[in-house]
Structure 1
Amino acid sequence: MAFRWYIDGISILRRISNFDVSIDDVSMLNRCHIPLTDFVTEEDRFKYCFFSLGVSRRGFRTCRPVLCVDGTFLKTKYGGQMLCAVALDANNHLYPVAFGIVDSENHDSWKYFMSKLKEAIGEVEDLAFVSDRHASITHALETIFPDACHGACYHHISMNVVAKFKTDHCHVLMYNIMTSNYAESFNNKTRDARSFPITTFIEFIRFTLQSWLCDRRETSEKTTTTLAPTYEKTLVDMAEKARFLIPYAIGRHEFHVLDGELNGGVDLLNKTCTCGVFQIIGIPCAHALSGSLKRGVNFYSLCSDYYKIETWRSSYTESIYPTCNEEEWIVPHDIMTIKVRTHAQKNPVGRPKKKQGRPKTKRHPSNGDKLVVQRKCSTCGGLGHNRATCKVCV
């Protein structure tokens, strides 16, 4: 797909690079509204751009070190793809970290995105990625993040059991983030906005993150539980199951817990259980809680700090601010003089085919995937029913 993006005047840099800084400029990074941006042209034609808000980069340090990456198409007549990297906060809310606009999903575009992402987040211990089966993502991760774990989304694997991506080698704690649907959920949030002009689309992303951070900050400040609400409920449910299990002590910290099915070998000191739930989630399973009840160990001391309410609040201590009026922008002269032409189109061999009908705005389903389309009532226009079952006009 050729990426034809007409930019008149000084280009997208006027919108997203007005406060551009280096990731190494620590003093400037203290200004929470400053993004890390990059813009690439090839022979004066647009090629790629990347942007990541400072608030998102610093907030990612309090999230589990797992990034879901995915790409989705833009709906403008110029085409193109948006790439994104999304994390999850302590309450399993989407926490977008970085975005890229590229011509298409290929080896070069994903390598560009991953290299800029590495600049944005720096070195992260036990970093893991979850994605679909796109070969370019695997190639980019092997090149840019060779030490990071890469797991294929279990949903996509289940659709094609002969997929070449395997996760047996992935020993890094994934915190039960085993699907790239989180990145796809954010893509769905931008479904309508992806038909906007690029600058408007980027402003929509900024405004969305601004609203999310503000709302979640207020919610976390009102929360009185020890863990974020989602995992507080998970711990309570596990504790209820633990009441009916029978723990047999092996040592001071080790237990053999009978549950009538698989049973579990628990080590409270190393926070492990043979059922695997303790290690995968970072929350003690029912077996571990049964053993901790016998020893009088505080349940919360066994939980990962990523789920603590203090961690959740620290993810939203900063705010995202809107840019000032365009008339007040101080734009460097070298940016003012930039002229960016449309992306070079590659003409196919043979007689060009004339496209019929309207441009497509819905994605093509991947192998084994099914797109569910709701019925629309011809009487009231509502979704989920038809004219025969409509209750509006009864």
Structure 2
Amino acid sequence: MVRADASVCIKVFINATAAHFGFRLTYRRVWLAKQKAVAHIYGDWDESYNELPRWVLGVQLTMPGTVAVLRTRPVQVWGQVDESQAYFHRLFWTFPLCIEAFRHCKLLVSIDGSHLYGKYGRTLLVAIAQDRNSNILPVAFDLVEGENADSWSFFLSDLRQHLTPQPGLLVISDMHNGIKAALEAPDGGWLPPAAYRAFWIRHVAANFALTFKGKDARRLLVNAVYAKTEVEFDYWFDIMRSEDPAMCEWANRIEYSLWTQHRDDDRRFGHMTTNISECVYSILKGVRNLPVCSLVKATYGKLAELFVRKGREAEAQLGTGQQFSQHLVKCIEANLKTARCFTVTLYDRDNSEFTVAETTPTGMFSLGTYRVSLASQTCDCGYFQALHFPCPHPLACCAYSRLTWLPYVHQVYRLSSVFSVYRMGFTPPIPEGFWPPYDGPTVIPDPNKRRARVGRPRSTRIHTTMDETDPNRPKRCGLCRQPGHTRQDCPQLGGPSHTGPHD
């Protein structure tokens, strides 16, 4: 089961052993057994650290241009530095195909950290890009001791140097103080106008919900965040002020350009929320349960599979003669259906400015009037400039003037640009037996990062409203995980003993 999926939870193993052998093992025994199974399949947890230097040499030989920055710390024995050994500290890596692919992605990057499981506590920092078809693409990785100002500074420094030298880049992250310190460093290269910062809305809303309870308060903030015009933002903000003035005071402590869509200078492309979970579970699923060298190797294999799959999809769409990505085509088709309920009046022919009156499908009621400028690609509703493709109002103007809407779509959505991201493929890795020899000190894990030896590691996650369970979800038994009963009246209690004969 571990070989098939290293991320299988312990309760699945408990139920499987109970069904096969007729008795239930304790959580601790199953957890320890899983760790031994992982070590047996993917290599020893301690020896895996010493394989990293050889992997760096091997992958650089396999794919020239690979960036791998390994940092170690000296080992001291009785006050003297042991030259034969070194503690693993950090590892930053990215591949040349990721560097090339990012040049064809949207000019934004999301950064976040994900805790690793296993014998030693570590954190995997990930930089995630978004292609022109709104697909996520992890482009850089970093193994660090944890999320702090030094580790984020190390990651962002290498990210800026090797992967994202483009000016005007938007960095989307959570509100971690370590990220804030690293981005605001004078010599880091992340200050405006070289780069800009924005927050994931889900994290802002989660922090907001810690102070103001109730889903209605959080909904008001989210509606204000997603507002694409100042008028719409003020509307929701006034409702928040009427409900509780302290809500507005809390929101005003954060600069508007960091968390509101109408003040982001159209840099987000509508990308408002986090996607680290989607990245971890769809692309990096299971790697957090592996020893460090197997984890690093898995990123190479997972990205190779991703490039092949997405490259075939883009090539197939190009073969059909499509000009734009499938995501954009669906949005335009939905907008075209809505555009039939508009009345267009030409305001300024020379500057292609119009007024669009929106009505109900029956034409009996007016829903508002909007000014549209095709020349400057703006609309009063805010969608045109925020998403960089026509909303229903410009589409109605194009139909009125017998113009095609194609010139008013940003180049970022063209299918040829999407194909440019995945047009190259990863090289098959060179077998480990042909990797160059490594003659440096033996890399060993830091003993201070060793998890508790007895039992499973305790979770240090701080639960927020993001972790709330669905109230409509049926409750399950704590023993067999089946709905309809509780632990006290579980049928398993009447069966074989919960402990084995040798407990």
TM-score range, shorter chain: 0.7 to 0.9
Deviation of 1:146 (Å) = 0.8
The residue type equivalent to 1:84 in the other structure is: V
Deviation of 1:370 (Å) = 1.4
The 8 Å contact of residues 140 and 159 in structure 2, kept in 1 or not, is answered as yes
The change in CA–CA distance for 1:165 and 1:342 in structure 2 (over 3 A counts) is farther
CA distance in 1, matches of 2:276, 2:49: 33
The change in CA–CA distance for 1:204 and 1:167 in structure 2 (over 3 A counts) is farther
Q: Which of these residues, 292, 307, 315, is aligned with residue 398 of structure 2?
A: 292
The residue type equivalent to 1:131 in the other structure is: S
The change in CA–CA distance for 1:153 and 1:297 in structure 2 (over 3 A counts) is same
Partner of 2:55: 15
Partner of 1:220: 314
The 8 Å contact of residues 49 and 445 in structure 2, kept in 1 or not, is answered as no
Deviation of 1:369 (Å) = 1.8
The change in CA–CA distance for 1:8 and 1:298 in structure 2 (over 3 A counts) is closer
Deviation of 1:193 (Å) = 1.9
Deviation of 1:125 (Å) = 3.2
Partner of 2:114: 72
Q: Does 1:155 align with 2:202?
A: yes
Deviation of 1:20 (Å) = 4.1
The residue type equivalent to 1:203 in the other structure is: K
The 8 Å contact of residues 49 and 88 in structure 2, kept in 1 or not, is answered as no
- Provide Cα deviations, 1:42-92, integer angstroms capped at 9, x if missing partner: 223211110011111110111111111110100011111000010111221
Other structure's SS at 2:390 match: coil
Other structure's SS at 1:315 match: helix
CA distance in 1, matches of 2:461, 2:164: 34
Deviation of 1:354 (Å) = 7.5
CA distance in 2, matches of 1:205, 1:76: 17
Deviation of 1:377 (Å) = 7.4
Q: Which of these residues, 141, 144, 147, is aligned with residue 99 of structure 1?
A: 141
Q: Does 1:166 align with 2:264?
A: no
The 8 Å contact of residues 149 and 172 in structure 1, kept in 2 or not, is answered as no
Partner of 2:70: 39
Q: Which of these residues, 157, 179, 182, is aligned with residue 275 of structure 2?
A: 182
Deviation of 1:32 (Å) = 5.8
The residue type equivalent to 2:422 in the other structure is: Y
- Provide Cα deviations, 1:176-200, integer angstroms capped at 9, x if missing partner: 1111x22231123435221111111
Deviation of 1:124 (Å) = 1.2
In the superposition, the TM-score normalised over structure 2's length comes to 0.66
CA distance in 2, matches of 1:262, 1:32: 57
CA distance in 2, matches of 1:9, 1:276: 51
Partner of 2:361: none
Q: Does 1:359 align with 2:457?
A: yes
- Provide Cα deviations, 1:119-161, integer angstroms capped at 9, x if missing partner: 1224213210111121111221222211212111111212233
Q: Does 1:245 align with 2:342?
A: yes
Partner of 1:51: 93
Partner of 2:77: none
Other structure's SS at 2:120 match: coil
Q: Which of these residues, 292, 310, 324, is aligned with residue 416 of structure 2?
A: 310
CA distance in 2, matches of 1:371, 1:201: 30
CA distance in 2, matches of 1:202, 1:61: 23
Other structure's SS at 1:287 match: helix
CA distance in 2, matches of 1:8, 1:276: 52
The 8 Å contact of residues 49 and 292 in structure 2, kept in 1 or not, is answered as no
Q: Which of these residues, 345, 356, 360, is aligned with residue 257 of structure 1?
A: 356
CA distance in 2, matches of 1:387, 1:292: 58
CA distance in 2, matches of 1:355, 1:112: 30
Q: Which of these residues, 196, 216, 233, is aligned with residue 290 of structure 2?
A: 196
The residue type equivalent to 1:315 in the other structure is: V
The change in CA–CA distance for 1:264 and 1:365 in structure 2 (over 3 A counts) is farther
1:105-120 matches, within 5 Å, as 105-120=147-162
The 8 Å contact of residues 159 and 368 in structure 1, kept in 2 or not, is answered as yes
CA distance in 2, matches of 1:79, 1:129: 27
The residue type equivalent to 1:255 in the other structure is: F
CA distance in 2, matches of 1:96, 1:115: 17
- Provide Cα deviations, 1:261-288, integer angstroms capped at 9, x if missing partner: 3432211111111211111111111111
The 8 Å contact of residues 73 and 363 in structure 1, kept in 2 or not, is answered as no
Q: Which of these residues, 201, 205, 209, is aligned with residue 303 of structure 2?
A: 209
CA distance in 1, matches of 2:332, 2:367: 21
Other structure's SS at 1:68 match: strand
Partner of 1:146: 191
Other structure's SS at 1:250 match: strand
Partner of 1:27: none
In the superposition, the TM-score normalised over structure 1's length comes to 0.83
CA distance in 2, matches of 1:267, 1:251: 9
State, as a whole percentage, how many aligned pairs show the same letter: 23
CA distance in 1, matches of 2:332, 2:104: 20
CA distance in 2, matches of 1:344, 1:354: 11
Partner of 1:137: 179
- Provide Cα deviations, 1:272-324, integer angstroms capped at 9, x if missing partner: 11211111111111111111212222112111111111011111110112321
The residue type equivalent to 2:280 in the other structure is: N
The 8 Å contact of residues 33 and 55 in structure 1, kept in 2 or not, is answered as no
Could you tell me which runs of 5 or more consecutive residues in structure 2 were left unpaired when the two chains were aligned: 1-44, 75-85, 209-249, 258-262, 359-365, 486-503
How large is the Cα RMSD of the aligned pairs? 2.9
Could you tell me which runs of 5 or more consecutive residues in structure 1 were left unpaired when the two chains were aligned: 22-30, 348-352, 389-394
The 8 Å contact of residues 32 and 319 in structure 1, kept in 2 or not, is answered as no
Other structure's SS at 1:39 match: strand
CA distance in 1, matches of 2:64, 2:312: 19
Deviation of 1:365 (Å) = 4.8
Deviation of 1:346 (Å) = 8.8
The 8 Å contact of residues 132 and 152 in structure 1, kept in 2 or not, is answered as yes
More helix by share: 2
Deviation of 1:371 (Å) = 5.1
The 8 Å contact of residues 11 and 338 in structure 1, kept in 2 or not, is answered as no
